[in-house]
Homo-oligomer: A and B are copies of this chain.
C-alpha cells in the first residue's frame, strides 16, 4: 500500500470522466422467466386495463346502489338473490330492480349492478332473499376497470431494474418476452506471482486467488463473467491477456498482494496506447484503484488487497456495471444507525471505510470497529457486519457518536 500518488482523485470526479467513455449496452429480448435482475431496455406500456372488468373488492352482494338508499341496521332492505358469482365465472345475468347477486371478491360485477354490499352488512333470510343493513353509493366496494393500470399507461420505464415486484407486474400484463439490456461481458484477470487457483498446493507462500470468488459473487447476477485466469507479474504475459479481453465490455484486473512497483497494469495500459482516467482515488481502503480506457474498452484495475478490492468494487465497479446497463439510480444498501464504541480516526480528504461489528445493548445498537487499518485482513470483512463510512470532510468520529452503518450482511444476528 505504499504507492505514493501525487494526488488522489475523488471517486465522483473519476467516475464522471470514466462514464463519458461507457456506452449503454444493446438490447435483447428474454423470456419473462429469465428477466429477474435484468434491466428494461424500453419503456413498457400496458396493453390492457387492469383489472379488465369491474370487480368485487369484497365478498358480499352485488347490488344496484339506488336500491340500498336508506338501508340501515334498524331499517334493513330486502333484496332477491338471483345468483352467485365467483372469480372466473362468466354470466349473462342482468340484475333488475330490488335484485342482487351473491359475489366473491374478484368476480365480475354483473350487468345492472354498480356496487357491492360487504357480507357483514347482509343477512340471508332464506327463500332466496337477503337483508341489507347499509346503504352504498355507486361504485362502493368495486375495483373499477383500469383502476390499477389503464390500457396505454406507461407502467415501467427504460432503465428499471427488474425485481420481484416488476416481475409481478410484467406477468400481470401477460408479457411473455421482455426487452432488456444485454449483460456486460466482464473479463477478470488476476495478477500476482504468488496467486494460485483454488485447490492448489499452497506451499512456498502461495495464496489462493480468492478475490476472484468475491468479484464473481458481487457481480454474479448482473454480468457474464469471462474469467481469464491468473497473470504472472510479467509484462508480456499480462499484455497478451488484456489484448485477448479487448472485445469484452469491461476488463477488471486485480493486483497481487502487492500494489507498488510490482503493479504492472498501468504500465501495460500505456504500452497498449490506453489512457489512464484516474489512478489513486481518495478512498481508503481502495486508494490504488485504476480506471483506464484501452481503445474503446474500459478497464478497472482493482487493488490486490481483498478489503481494498471490496471497497473499490462498491465505489467504482458496481456503478460502472450499472452505467453499462443503463440502470436508473443508485444501488440501495441496508443501513442502520448505531453508537460508535471506539474513536475512528481518518485522514481529511479521504473517504474511509471502517469495518464494524454490530451488537445490541438494551434498545441501543452499538458499532465496534473490527480492526484499525489492515486492508490485508480478510477476516475483518466476515467478523464485521458493515462499514462506517467517514466522509472526506471529517477527521473521524468520536466514541459515543451516532453513525450510519452500511450493512453488507444479507442476514444479521444481533
Q: Are B119 and A2 in contact (CB under 8 A)?
A: yes
Q: In the complex, which of the residues B50, B204, B213 contacts A171, with contact meaning CB atoms closer than 8 Å?
A: B213
* CB pair B329 A87 closer than 8 Å: no
Question: Which B residue's beta carbon lies closest to that of A194?
Answer: B88
What sequence of 0s and 1s flags, for each residue 356-378 of chain A, a beta carbon within 8 Å of any chain B beta carbon?
00000000000000000010111
The residue that A164 contacts in the complex, of B165, B217, B412, with Cβ under 8 A, is: B217
Known contacts A169-B378, A199-B176, A378-B168; A261 and B161 CB within 8 A of each other:
no
Q: Would you call A267 an interface residue if the criterion is a C-beta within 8 Å of the partner chain's C-beta atoms?
A: no
Given contacts A55-B257, A119-B260, A213-B171, contact A382 B156 (CB under 8 A): yes
Most buried by B among A3, A214, A412: A214
A330 within 8 A of B: yes
Give the number of times this chain occurs in the complex, counting copies. Answer: 2
Closest to A328 in B: B413
User: Which stretch of A143-151, A272-280, A345-353 is in the interface?
Assistant: A143-151
* Chain B residues positioned under 8 Å from A60 (CB to CB): 2
A313-340 Cβ-contact flags toward B at 8 Å (1 or 0): 0000000001000011111111110000
A195 at the interface (CB under 8 A from B): yes
A301 at the interface (CB under 8 A from B): no
Instruction: From A99-107, A181-189, A289-297, give the one contacting chain B.
Output: A99-107
A298 to B200, CA, bound (A): 44
Taking the nearest CB of chain B, how far is it from the CB of A175, in angstroms? 8
Question: What residues of chain B lie closer than 8 Å to A36, measured between beta carbons?
Answer: 216-217, 220
A256–B334 CB distance below 8 A: no
Given A161-B410, A262-B104, A336-B335, A217 and B167 contact (CB-CB distance below 8 Å):
yes
* Interface residues in A134-186 (C-beta closer than 8 Å to B): 143, 147-149, 155-156, 161, 163-174, 176
Question: Contact: A171 with B192, CB < 8 Å?
Answer: no
Q: How far is the CB of A243 from chain B (nearest CB, A)?
A: 24
Q: How many of chain A's residues touch chain B, expressed as a range? A: 35 or more
Cross-chain contact B378 with A332 (CB below 8 angstroms): no
Contact A193 B88 (CB under 8 A): yes
Residues of B within 8 A of A214 (CB): 164-165, 167-168, 171
Q: Interface of chain A, helix or strand or loop or mixed?
A: loop
Across-interface contacts of A18 in B (CB, < 8 A): none
User: Given contacts A107-B258, A148-B379, are A4 and B119 in contact (CB under 8 A)?
Assistant: yes
Q: Are B258 and A171 in contact (CB-based, < 8 A)?
A: no
What chain B residues lie within 8 Å of A33 (beta carbons)? Answer: 213
Any chain B CB within 8 A of the CB of A240?
A: no
Interchain CB contact under 8 A, B106 and A258: yes
Report the separation of the CA atoms of residues A20 and B120 in the bound assembly, to the nearest whole angstrom.
Answer: 35
Which chain B positions have C-beta within 8 A of A396? none
Judge whether A205 is part of the interface by a CB distance below 8 angstroms.
yes
Beyond the given pairs A36-B217, A168-B210, 14 more chain A to chain B contacts, judged by CB atoms under 8 angstroms and listed by A's residue number, are A1-B57, A2-B105, A2-B120, A52-B207, A86-B258, A88-B193, A88-B206, A89-B193, A106-B257, A143-B376, A168-B211, A168-B214, A168-B378, A174-B200
Listed by A's residue number, 16 A-B pairs whose Cβ atoms lie within 8 Å are A2-B59, A33-B213, A55-B257, A59-B261, A87-B194, A87-B257, A105-B259, A148-B376, A164-B217, A165-B382, A168-B213, A174-B208, A322-B411, A328-B411, A329-B414, A335-B335
